Amino acid sequence: MMEAKMLGIREEIVKERLGLTSNYAAAYAVKTVDVDVIAAYPITPQTTIIEKLAEFVANGELDAEYIPVESEHSALSAVVGASAAGARVFTATAAQGLEFMHEVLHITSGLRLPVVMAVPGRALSAPISIHGDYQDIMNARDAGWIMIIASSAQEVYDSIIMAYRIAEDQRVLLPVMVSYDGFLMSHTTEPVELYHEEYVRKFTPRNLSRYRLDPRKPITVGVIASPDWYYEIKYQAVHALRESKQVIKEVHEEFNKAFGTNYDLVEKYMVDDADYVLITYGGASSGNAKEAARRARERGLRAGVVRIRLFRPFPADELVNAVKDAKIVAVVDRALTPGDVYEGPVFSDVVSALYSRNIEKPVISVVHGISQRTMLADDFYNLYKMLDEYAKTGVYPRSTVFLGLRS
Amino acid sequence: MKVYFRTIKDLPVEEHFGPGQLTCAGCGPSIAIRWLIKAAGSDIIVVNATGCMEVTTTSYPYTAWSIPYLHVAFENAAAAASGVESALKALGRKGILDTKAKVMVIAGDGGTYDIGLQSLSGMLERGHGVLYVLYDNEAYMNTGIQRSGGTPHFAWTTTSPVGSKLRGKVQRKKDIMSIVIGHHIPYAATANIAYPIDLANKVKTALDYLDEGPAFIHVLAPCPPGWRYPEEMTVEIARLATETGYFPLYEWDHGRIRLNPPSNTHLDKSRRKPIIEYLKRQGRFSHLTEDDIKEIEKEIDEYWDYLARLIKAFG
């Protein structure tokens, strides 16, 4: 009944169904929300986004100023300037580019500018690697941005539309990063349903009442704050990020209603009765984990998957609720925190969330898919078997498990 | 340059760059910005690079600016200004907002010669209608007098100290004007706080050209603590810089180069004051030997020879 109703909505709002990579899906979303200023600098695996946007602008399909900047640092700086002047802006990057703009990441959130950026994640040099993982994205996690990690091209398209609505909400005014798997998604063609412009525009009205640079009402942006003031000003941005979760939830609910989708801050897959839960993010990890959960269930293991879709602010309650009844949980990271207690970055978030809600259970840190090391559904199936064994023996690893690593 | 102002009395009375800043007494850059903003009027948006003028004018919860002002970081003022200019264009064209303003970057020598050179070059190459003003106090003064690409040969700074083996800055000052002119933009000029009418006319001329593309003004702005002279001497020292031929006033206007008064007579070396007059008043040069001074003089002569050849080719 519910599905039939959703189908009905989508028949009306879907304009066309195209085969698109996640990068092209991102570009189509940017076009549909009528962005005013784009700053573009090429870097693999992001480049095809800005190529597609250049085509849209060159063909007059998108009326925007396209600034072909000379570096990623300038890319984010240019959209910061444009956003401060009142424009709706977009840029995209990955890997070394995201590192190069790192300084400006903090400034963007500190200035409370609703910048939206797409980042197909990629491994960091050295050694240089163009292939996908999430090291770049994890390094950006303390920059005060809202961070969404999508798992399909459709979700990338939908998330970028939602991102503008969230970022520009007067209660939020923070930048949003929409990330996804470099190559495994950025360069993989999937069917994507694109919406009629009018529905998207209606969902993403411009916030023209926010502060902006205008001689008629001069403001000073980007001040120096003494220790007397810095803490309070920074806390406001920290508080806004924490509180943005409520707005993000609202926007998800409204989006689901308007577009017949079913997004949530975390995606739960067969977790209701699950003993063994894999916590994942991104496309390839989550897809493989789901396939493995199905196989494990066929073999009598009660397996499930929780995919983290909203990464910052971290959906602690939603995550804890999803896994609270599981016997044992494993967090599959595609990035590293060298020298930390465990080497998986999201593992630490999960443990902290559980501990803060007084939930004690074994949590395993797993790292896989570094620089796009092939992840097989079998690897994840074996992980479920390992969890089963750990649960039975009560003995489990107290350090990170590196899957797919040659010895 | 077009002449908009003939005397100081022609300048607007309004001040959009307020008093009560935290600059040092006798601050050259502060004087520069006062003249700049006076000439430009209120319909501008200033994008400021990190530096002395940013930290002394925006100390929360106060601001010295009664025009819209944006500071993002040190090396990216030109990029941020590119974004502001593009935003005004796009929003105006699409009928979303009609913000009427010219965009002006204000950046120091560190933010221009060194860390910001890439973003400046990008902005010039892309042709954004932005006026980029370099206020040159010839070192990283905000962090406490460290040498930059704009610091002159032999000058003492804390990172080009006077020791037993090395005596001040080993390298010569970078020729930023030639780098900027190499981008073939409509307008580039040098100016000096000691010649406010010349400076004001250059600002107005530059702003009028922004529909065609970028403009650049290089303003010499002495720094009492960094150059080590008494603070009441700022304007006098700035004037000597031009009178001795150390800092010639000239402009590049649509492919033509022209010397401005008083530098227009200085191709004849005898019309320049001796360089010692400029050097001897500044503690940063107090260690110079006769040979060092001769070397500086030779370098200035070489630069004038270079200018003479430019004028011959593009005059």
Which tens digits make up the pLDDT trace of A328-343? 999 999 999 999 999 9
High-pLDDT (> 90) share of chain A, %: 98
Write down the architecture of domain A266-402 according to CATH: 3-Layer(aba) Sandwich (3.40)
DSSP state, residue B174: P
A111/chain B closest Cα distance in angstroms: 9
pLDDT tens digits, one per residue of B34-89: 999 999 999 999 999 999 999 999 999 999 999 999 999 999 999 999 999 999 99
Q: Which residues of A touch B92 (CB under 8 A)?
A: none
Whether residue B311 has pLDDT greater than 90: yes
pLDDT, tens digit, 9 for 90 and up, residues A92-113:
999 999 999 999 999 999 999 9
Structure confidence at residue A3 (pLDDT): 57
* Residues A77 and B76: beta-carbon distance below 8 Å: yes
In this prediction, residue A8 carries a pLDDT of 81
Q: What CATH fold (topology level) applies to the domain A2-259?
A: Rossmann fold (3.40.50)
C-alpha to C-alpha distance for A83 and A94, rounded to whole angstroms: 21
Q: Which residue in chain A is spatially nearest to B99 when comparing CA positions?
A: A214
Give the model's confidence band at B20: pLDDT under 50 very low, under 70 low, under 90 confident, else very high. confident
Q: Class of the B8-314 domain? A: alpha beta
The answer, for A218 touching chain B at a CB cutoff of 8 Å, is yes
DSSP B210-253: TTTS-EEEEEE---HHHHTS-GGGHHHHHHHHHHTTSS--EEEE
**Looking at A79-189, which runs of residues are DSSP E strands?**
89-92, 116-121, 146-149, 176-181
* pLDDT tens digits, one per residue of A46-89: 999 999 999 999 999 999 999 999 999 999 999 999 999 999 99
A213 touches B at CB < 8 Å: yes
Question: Which tens digit of pLDDT belongs to each residue from A2-24?
Answer: 555 666 889 999 999 999 999 99
Q: How far apart are CA A53 and CA A118, in angstroms?
A: 13
Domain extents in chain B: 8-314
Closest CB from A36, A103, A229 relative to B87: A36
Q: What's the whole-number mean pLDDT along residues B116-136?
A: 98
Q: CB distance from A84 to chain B under 8 Å? A: yes
Task: Name the least confident of B13-22, B80-89, B222-231.
Answer: B13-22
Mean predicted confidence (pLDDT) in A183-197 = 98
Query: What pLDDT digit, counting tens, does each position of B254-292 carry?
Result: 999 999 999 999 999 999 999 999 999 999 999 999 999
Q: What is the pLDDT of residue A7?
A: 66
> Does pLDDT of B140 surpass 50?
yes
A127 CB within 8 Å of a chain B CB: no
Please write the tens of the pLDDT for every residue from A212-230. 999 999 999 999 999 999 9
CB contact (8 A) between residue A214 and residue B119: no
Which residues in chain B have their CB less than 8 angstroms from residue A229's CB? 60-61
Euclidean distance between CA atoms A151 and A263, whole angstroms: 11
Beta bridge partners of A17: A193
Between the alpha carbon of residue B36 and those of residues A124, A389, B53, B288, the distances in Å are 44, 74, 13, 34
Give the Å distances, CA to CA, from B80 to A40, A50, A60, A80, A122. Answer: 14, 19, 25, 6, 26
Local confidence band at A1 (pLDDT 50, 70, 90 cut-offs)? very low
Q: Could you tell me the CA-to-CA distances from B19 to A221, B33, B107 in Å, in that order?
A: 19, 12, 20
Domain boundaries in chain A? 2-259, 266-402
Q: Tell me what the pLDDT averaged over chain A comes to.
A: 97
Helices (H), A16-101: 22-32, 47-58, 72-84, 95-100
Note the pLDDT of residue A4.
Answer: 56
CB pairs under 8 A between A and B: 176
